[in-house]
Amino acid sequence: MDRSAPGALRHLRFLVTAFFVLDGFVFANWVVRVPDIKTQVGASASSLGLALLGVSAGAVVTMIVTGRLCRRFGSEQMSVAMSVLLSATIMLPALTRSVVVLTASLFAFGVGFGGLNVAMNSVAVDVTARIARPIMPSFHAAYSFGGLTGAVLGGVVAEWLSPAWHLTIVGTLGLAVTGRIGISLLRDAAPRVGPAAEDAAGAAGATDATDATDAAAAPVRPRRGTRSLVLLFGVIAMCTAYGEGALADWAALHLRSDLHTSAGLAAAGYASFSLAMLAGWLSGTWTLARLGRTRVLAAGGLTAAGGMLLAALAPVLALAVIGFVLVGLGLANVFPAAIGEAGALAGSQGVAVASTIGYTGFLAGPPIIGFLADSFSLPIALTTIAGFAGAAAAIALVARQAEARLPTATASP
């Protein structure tokens, strides 16, 4: 199949979008069962945080090597393989009866989750470069849509299905969907064209994230003095990803244990957060084009900080849900804007560095919240998300001033 033909590109975009939806759906179904599995294994807040570190460890280890595996075997092939692994391993946590075994099962789940995220994003960057339009936000929106759907359906199912039956059904469905879309993706897959093309795709992906231009992809040559700026944007991504990762695992438990909601209503926290993230991503290209990167980063960080304080400290469910909505709206475009600017400054290498720093926040957030919750309380632990979001807003202003001092820089408004 000629992958440059409009029809072929639309079909390829649909297949990649389906992987993003599936990833969000599977992960959200795990999230809504965290409180039940915590009870099932008899874990304290800190021991649950240690078990959740298994997801982080598995994802980090895999992210380090998946890029090389994609170069060797192809991003499409790795996307299918990791989607199979993710769907198969989501069944494991509900079958455990001890924290040690839970940690091991979550490590395997993290391998699938981290590997799929790297591989499918690699395919998405390639599709974006081929289409030569700013469509990257649509893939992030697809992941959020999957997360919202998984949270809502998972919350309903949690009322009448055990975790074992629930996650087994989700895993089986994931394997079936992977088989269906994976066959098509592999059939359409073209040979990799080498590092130079990947650099071009990375540059196009960065351009899409900031909506700077619709020009065809071309390698970005880093300007002198940009290394520290790339690191700053990586830290911004890390500060906001900390909140996204932490809420995925602790939002439901906060509503369940601190506000004493039912299992179904406890899912409302992550569902409202996911819905707000989806709305933010869908409007991301428009927002960045009209407000500029610095305003989006600063305003987003401050909005998320205020929303998280409300969600963590509110005494009633309605106010907490409003807080989660504000967090989602605030965080939605901060991570992609930061990663996109890093790419605009230093090409694919900038994207790689900032993404690596950013994902450490996503992966470290859940266990850190667990340890803090055991030492203080879960609401107090969750306020650290507000602190990191506020820090991201402040760093965005510092980065704006630093970029303005670059000899050839054109600072974002």
The span from the CA of 240 to the CA of 408, in Å, is 29
Take residue 28 and report the two structure tokens written for it.
């959200």
Asked if 154 contacts 28 with a C-beta cutoff of 8 angstroms, the reply is yes
Burial of 306 (0-12, 13-18, 19+ CB in 10 A): middle
C-alpha distances in angstroms, 47 versus 43, 53, 316? Answer: 6, 10, 27
The span from the CA of 35 to the CA of 253, in Å, is 6
SS (H, E, C) the chain: CCCCCHHHHHHHHHHHHHHHHHHHHHHHHHHHCHHHHHHHHCCCHHHHHHHHHHHHHHHHHHHHHHHHHHHHHCHHHHHHHHHHHHHHHCCCHHHCCCHHHHHHHHHHHHHHHHHHHHHHHHHHHHHHHHHCCCCHHHHHHHHHHHHHHHHHHHHHHCCCCCHHHHHHHHHHHHHHHHHHHHHHHHHHCCCCCCHHHHHHHHHHHHHHHHCCCCCCCCCCCCCCCCHHHHHHHHHHHHHHHHHHHHHHHHHHHHHHHCCCCCHHHHHHHHHHHHHHHHHHHHCHHHHHHHHCHHHHHHHHHHHHHHHHHHHHHCCCHHHHHHHHHHHHHHHCCHHHHHHHHHHHHHHHHHHHHHHHHHHHHHHHHHHHHHHHHHHCCHHHHHHHHHHHHHHHHHHHHHHHHHHHCCCCCCCCC
The domains found in the chain, sorted by start residue, are 6-404 (1.20.1250.20)
C-alpha distances in angstroms, 145 versus 68, 128, 394? Answer: 29, 20, 30
- Would you state the pLDDT for residue 407? 64
The span from the CA of 64 to the CA of 83, in Å, is 17
Entry pTM: 0.69
C-alpha distances in angstroms, 108 versus 52, 88, 92, 122, 364? Answer: 11, 9, 9, 21, 17
Block means of pLDDT (10 residues each) for the chain, 413 residues, are 68 93 94 90 86 84 78 88 97 94 95 87 76 72 86 88 95 96 85 44 39 37 69 93 87 90 83 87 80 89 96 93 95 83 65 74 86 92 96 94 68 44
- Would you state the pLDDT for residue 357? 83
The span from the CA of 250 to the CA of 373, in Å, is 10
Asked if 405 contacts 91 with a C-beta cutoff of 8 angstroms, the reply is no
Please state whether 101 falls in left (phi above 0), alpha (psi between -120 and 50) or beta.
alpha
Closest by Cα among 121, 141, 290 to 204: 121
